[in-house]
Amino acid sequence: MIKPGTKLLLLLLLTIVTVVQVVFLAGYYLLSPEGRTAVGASGTENSIVQLASYETKDLGVAVARVRPAVVYITGHPSISENTLRPQGPISFAPASLTSDKMGSGIIFDTAGHILTNYHVVASMTDIRVSLFADREHAYPGEIIALDPQKDLAVIKINAPFSLPTVTLGNSDMMEAADEILAIGCPFSLEQSVSHGIISDTKRTVTIDGRNYTDLIQTDAVINSGNSGGPLVNLNGEVIGVNVAIYAPTRVYCGVGFAIPINQAKLLLMKVK
């Protein structure tokens, strides 16, 4: 027969062992990566995990979502175009360093509508468009809409197949120091990709005597032929249209500009 004092001692020891086990298991669960994620499902910890995931997105995945819908635009300048010269250190990303004009564009619907810059196509004749997946064939391009105030234009091609398209993002959500990608056809090197950050989101600059407001400034490489190409966020969404560079020497100096895509959406809605 167990004495009352011994029984009390055994119950006390059993209680202590149970408490130690519970504390150990709780600590292991809370400190493990899986436990932290589960706890964060209803708290602030989960938002930290999601933020880290966003910041480490694969640049290659973002490029793959946009690059097939970036086109190479070529044509012949009109006679009057040859008499124009840039005014001031900030100029449109020069459309050409040769006798022919060239630029980039963004396919935004499967019917073949392409967003580009006004200065790329406005004074261009015999517009030709080369696709990422069909570089050997150039499709005739037709001007559909022009917006010289914002330096935007829409052209259209007719292809015998459904065309790849981009996803348009929200440029108002971008902030200084956000990572971005610039895609285009500099110096006839089609669908080239460069990487940088946003330097400013509300830059006002004067280009050829006209003021352009709220442009995105970036240090991503923009050169001759990049005009009309997309500025892309890490989600693979187009958030800008590359338009100009600070270029006293007519080549990249570390300062480029893009038109926020939100400024282009009204024009796109009118042609769809």
Catalytic (active-site) positions: 119, 151, 227
Phi/psi of residue 213, nearest 5 degrees: -105, 155
Classify 225 in phi/psi space as left (phi over 0), alpha (psi -120 to 50) or beta: left
Q: Which amino acid is at 31?
A: L
CA dihedral 59, 65, 66, 67 (to 10 degrees): 80
What does the alpha-carbon distance between residue 226 and residue 72 come to, in Å, rounded to a whole number?
A: 9
145 DSSP 8-state letter: E
| Residue 165 and residue 69 in contact, taking contact as beta carbons nearer than 8 Å | yes
| Residue 72 and residue 82 in contact, taking contact as beta carbons nearer than 8 Å | no
Query: In the structure encoding, which two tokens stand for residue 213, read together?
Result: 């407001």
Give CA separation, 18 vs 5, 10, 24, 35, 150, in Å: 20, 12, 10, 21, 72
CA dihedral 56, 59, 65, 68 (to 10 degrees): 180
Q: Taking the CA atoms of 124, 159, 167 and 254 in sequence, report the sign of the dihedral they define.
A: negative
CA dihedral 49, 53, 56, 57 (to 10 degrees): 180
Phi/psi of residue 246, nearest 5 degrees: -80, 110
Q: Are strands 113-116 and 101-107 parallel, antiparallel or unpaired?
A: antiparallel
